[in-house]
A = this chain, B = another copy of it.
Amino acid sequence: MRATLKDIAEAVGVSIVTVSKVMRGHGDIGQETRKKVLDKAKELNFRPNLAARSLVTGKSSIVGLVVPDLLHPYFVEIAKSLAATLRKNGYYLMLSSSEEDPRMEEQEVEHLLALRLDALVVASCAPTVPKLFGDIQDQGTPLVLLDRSFEGFRCNFIGSDNAQMGHLATRHLFSLKRKRIAHIRGPENSIGRGRFEGYLKAFEEEGLEPNPKYVVGTSTVDVDSTVQGRDAMKRLLSLKPRPDAVFCYSDPIAIGAMDAIVDAGLRIPEDIAVVGCGNLHYDEHLRVPLTSVDQGSTRIGVRAAKMLLSILDSKAAPSGKPTIRRTIEPAEIVIRESTRR
């Protein structure tokens, strides 16, 4: 059904190798033969079988990316710019999602590994380093951790400066003369902890002691972040004195928090100022346009691609010991109504 090199070779009356060379633009072929082969290939609708090619060359020109959530614009934007940059350099991106489920993440990674791709980028949702990750590196497939890193696991990494993010947000709230700044925390991983640390650091710089009651976690229950934000904010609203500002781990949480504030008959930002994280693209169209910390996802994607390319390059020409690369992308705050003076 599908044409192969052999089909063309037989039709034209040359050897398979000759056809293969023509298809790959290998110089050493005569004008006439080349033209005949090319014509026949077009006629037969030939398309090289990449599986076969990768079997012999040992490389697939594909890089895999596993993210926890495809609905999250942060990861998608990274995927987009990563794919675009890779493509310019002859690589393709294979994108898959773990749906925030460590078991699924492992399956996806296993599958991508079985596909023998050239490198793997994972924004892991696992609570601790999966054993698999160690094996990957042992087997010689370059691995890059994205966004979430693991304590004590030496690995290429690219992500945001979460502490800086929390710091930026909280400092901004201080600059509005707010004193009772609350924080709705994220999950217990490098990201959630980082943002919380930034929050603490801002207090320290201010010479103030944060009120532990003002730091609340989101329930671990598997529910919409917006709902979690709403619940957390309700708890904060019941405190006396009430917080006059809140820094939220994420934008969806901030949206939920704002809902709770409005429901309680309070005003944003007059009564309570709100800052989120992520700078989602609809932030400015919300009921109250949301101030948010932008992570520069597009830049992260480009950086990841460059890191990958350099890894792939150095792999082609091994220079002894493999280096570990790390990149941290700085964040910036985008100010909107929810923290306007």
Residues of A within 8 A of B (CB): 1-2, 45, 47-52, 54-55, 60, 70-71, 73, 76-77, 79-80, 83-84, 92-97, 99, 110-111, 113-116, 135, 138-140, 226, 255, 258-259, 280-282, 285-288
Residue in chain B with minimal CB distance to A287: B287
Number of copies of this chain that the complex holds: 2
Instruction: Select which of B115, B140, B282 is within 8 A of A51 by beta carbon.
Output: B115
Instruction: Select which of B45, B48, B94, B139 is within 8 A of A94 by beta carbon.
Output: B94
Tell me which residues across on chain B come within 8 A of A139, comparing CB atoms: 1-2, 45
Known contacts A73-B71, A226-B285, A287-B287; A55 and B49 CB within 8 A of each other: yes
Nearest-Cβ distance from residue A139 to partner chain B, whole angstroms: 5
A45-B139, A71-B76 are known; give 14 further A-B pairs, CB within 8 A. Answer: A2-B140, A47-B113, A50-B116, A70-B79, A71-B77, A71-B80, A80-B97, A226-B285, A255-B285, A259-B285, A282-B282, A285-B287, A286-B286, A286-B287
Q: Quick check: A70 and B76 within 8 Å, CB to CB?
A: yes
Residue in chain B with minimal CB distance to A256: B285
Residue in chain B with minimal CB distance to A75: B70
Nearest-Cβ distance from residue A20 to partner chain B, whole angstroms: 15
Residue in chain B with minimal CB distance to A224: B281
13 of the cross-chain contacts (CB-CB < 8 Å) are A1-B140, A2-B139, A45-B135, A45-B139, A47-B110, A47-B114, A48-B114, A50-B115, A70-B70, A71-B73, A95-B95, A285-B286, A287-B288
Tell me which residues across on chain B come within 8 A of A71, comparing CB atoms: 73, 76-77, 80, 281
Q: Quick check: B116 and A97 within 8 Å, CB to CB?
A: no
Tell me which residues across on chain B come within 8 A of A287, comparing CB atoms: 285-288
Nearest-Cβ distance from residue A135 to partner chain B, whole angstroms: 5
Known contacts A70-B80, A73-B71, A138-B45; A50 and B95 CB within 8 A of each other: no
Tell me which residues across on chain B come within 8 A of A140, comparing CB atoms: 1-2
Q: Quick check: B45 and A55 within 8 Å, CB to CB?
A: no
Task: Give the top 10 A-B pairs by smallest Cβ distance, nearest first.
Answer: A51-B51, A1-B140, A50-B114, A70-B76, A255-B285, A95-B95, A47-B114, A282-B282, A51-B54, A287-B287
Distance between Cα atoms of A114 and B48 in the complex (Å):
6
